[in-house]
Amino acid sequence: MAMVGTSRALATLLLALPCVSVLEGAMKTYEPIRGWLARRTTRAVVIEIDYFARPDKDEEWATREREKMPSETAFRREHCRDWTSSAGDAFYPEFREKRERFVHVCTSMLDAPIYRGWDFGWRKPACIWFQYDPTIDRVWILRELMPEQIDTHSFRDLVLYLSGQRSRDALLRRPKSLSWIDRLEQEAKEFKHTHLPPWFESSIGAPNQFIDLSGPEALRTAPEVSSDTAERTCAQILAVEGIHLQLLNTSPKARENLIRRLLLPLPDGYPGMWVDPACSLVIKGMSGGIAFPKMNRAGVVADKPCRDGHYEHIHDALGYGLTQVVPFAEGPSSMEIPVQEWAGRAPAVRRGRLVIPSKEAKRKWR
């Protein structure tokens, strides 16, 4: 907490009290009362108040608050006015420091819509597949895709194939889509926790329902569109094949706040967001790939992540999707949702909720 020139009389009184002075760089600061730090600038007197200025907020209180916070970094940023604790560090330290609590194999799916969050661009477009269970306020991040150097038409058809909505033969006129399918098949053979495409099928029961979400950049003219096509924006290109985007212009701060809320524990002791190990980009990004910028020469640290040209795309796709589905405040409903259980790649329907997927996931939040 800081008061900048709002109470001149109070500031003058505090500076007149017996105090301990400390040199901070070339500026002299004063501590007239424990937890109150006063300093003069050329135009104002700044008073900063720490939590321990209140007698009831002692070390026992701080210990209890630390247990409530997802990480020590979060505690220092929230209660200790530590603006440098995040300089160049992970944007989501709560995920990085306790990653095993968030990464679990998904063994079942809700018999409910599968949401796709989209972020566009020639270099590295991105798509996230996820589901949300409103009965317990939990998100499952199921799959991710971030190809490189691909036009929007090919990206669209690749997502449709991976979602089980197009056959491979239908992609013969999209060589870039086919080359990425070959690459994904090769990765599935070489790396653990990756899966052979297509990732979703619905040969048992009703077809999966997909709901597509994006930000306002989908309405911009796509520079890679060829001159002989009528579609000029990414939204138009997707609409030709039946993908009708829901668009919402949300601020980066709103998306960040929602993701941080989902990283907190729910009443059952587990966090509000689980990530399948197949989503390596999301895991690496949340573990530190998405980071604060370094402190600038003026000593200021930005409160938003670096635009690194890589993880920012998967981060945006996730944020665009979540903010249009998940409430910003906690409040799960009492509605019971049917569940699709993965039997190979074809879901079999049963009633219930998303469950703890394995013995390894039995670890409680604390």
Looking at residue 193, its pLDDT comes to: 76
pLDDT of residue 238: 93
Report the pLDDT value the prediction gives residue 41, as an integer from 0 to 100.
63
Show the tokens assigned to 305.
């992540």
pTM confidence score: 0.69
3 state DSSP class of 173: coil
286-308 burial code (b ≥16 CB/10 A, e <16): bbbbbbbbeeeeeeebeeebbee
Query: 189, 91, 102, 182: which is closest to 140 by C-alpha?
Result: 102
Instruction: State residue 224's pLDDT score.
Output: 58
> What per-residue string of b and e applies to 20-36 under the rule 16 or more CB within 10 Å gives b?
eeeeeeeeebbbbeeeb
Question: In degrees, to the nearest 5, what angle opens at C-alpha 336 toward C-alphas 334 and 340?
Answer: 150
In order along the chain (366 residues), what is the average pLDDT of each group of 10 residues?
Answer: 48 50 44 66 71 78 73 65 55 84 87 93 91 93 94 94 92 93 90 85 69 91 63 89 91 89 91 94 89 64 73 93 87 50 40 41 32
Q: Is 232 helix (H, G, I), strand (E, B) or coil?
A: coil
Could you tell me which residues come within 8 angstroms of residue 304 by beta carbon, excluding any fewer than 6 positions away? 252, 253, 256
The distance from CA 150 to its chain's CA centroid, rounded to whole angstroms, is 24
Write down the domain spans for the chain: 1-57, 61-87, 99-362
Angle of CA points 322, 324, 329, to nearest 5°: 75
Query: Token pair 């992540």 is at which residue?
Result: 305
In this predicted structure, what is the pLDDT of residue 83? Answer: 47
The label of the residue with tokens 């317990």 reads 136
Query: What does the pLDDT read at residue 272?
Result: 93
CATH number given to 99-362: 3.30.420.280
Helix H or strand E encompassing 132: strand 126-133
At residue 332, the pLDDT reads 52
331: Cα separation from own chain's centroid: 19
Q: What is the pLDDT of residue 179?
A: 93
Residue 248, both tokens: 């919402």
The two tokens of residue 33 are 């009362």
